[in-house]
């Protein structure tokens, strides 16, 4: 009789313990499914934003790529070349040849980021470490395969006071 009671108590204990474990697993699965759904929604939003950002980008602009290819230029080599030429201007002695502002710190105005929009236009930002602004440039490749830049528009942001 004692053995029978002990066995029933053991079975009840195992049943309750197993039920608690299964309930916890189901709860965890529900939480993870909700988290996965939220992350999938965030992924879709980021993909949409990425597509929008790619719209004004030379690497994804078929008309601009065709323009260069019709001139016999390889875009995969041209894009790094254009960026390198702009960054090389940072090394010029004195003030930067394209940035129309003189540095107001011990540093030098230098181009930091470049975005090639298409086969004619470039956006770039510049800074001397404290002051910063943006440039709108045009560029062209001459018949002699020389790269020419033209400053079209520019501005400097006001210093933010703390």
Q: In the prediction, which pLDDT does 120 show?
A: 94
Q: In the prediction, which pLDDT does 161 show?
A: 67
Q: In the prediction, which pLDDT does 160 show?
A: 74
Q: In the prediction, which pLDDT does 52 show?
A: 87
pLDDT tens track of the chain, all 162 residues? Answer: 889 899 999 999 999 999 999 999 999 999 999 999 999 999 999 999 988 888 888 888 899 999 999 988 888 899 999 999 999 999 988 888 999 988 888 888 999 999 999 999 999 999 988 899 999 999 999 888 899 999 999 999 988 766
* Tokens representing residue 12 in the block: 């009840």
């Amino acid at each position: 009789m004692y053995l029978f009671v002990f066995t029933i108590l053991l079975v009840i204990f195992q049943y309750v313990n197993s039920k608690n474990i299964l309930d916890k697993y189901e709860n965890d699965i529900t939480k993870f499914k909700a988290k996965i759904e939220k992350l999938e929604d965030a992924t879709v939003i980021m993909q949409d934003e990425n597509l929008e950002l790619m719209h004004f980008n030379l690497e994804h602009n078929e008309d601009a790529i065709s323009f260069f290819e019709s001139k016999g230029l390889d875009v995969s080599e041209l894009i790094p070349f254009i960026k390198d030429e702009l960054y090389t201007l940072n090394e010029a002695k004195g003030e930067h040849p394209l940035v129309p502002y003189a540095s107001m710190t011990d540093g030098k105005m230098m181009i930091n980021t470049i975005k090639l929009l298409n086969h004619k236009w470039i956006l770039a930002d510049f800074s001397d470490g404290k002051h910063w602004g943006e440039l709108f440039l045009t560029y062209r490749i001459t018949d002699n395969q020389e790269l020419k830049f033209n400053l079209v528009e520019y501005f400097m942001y006001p210093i933010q006071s703390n």
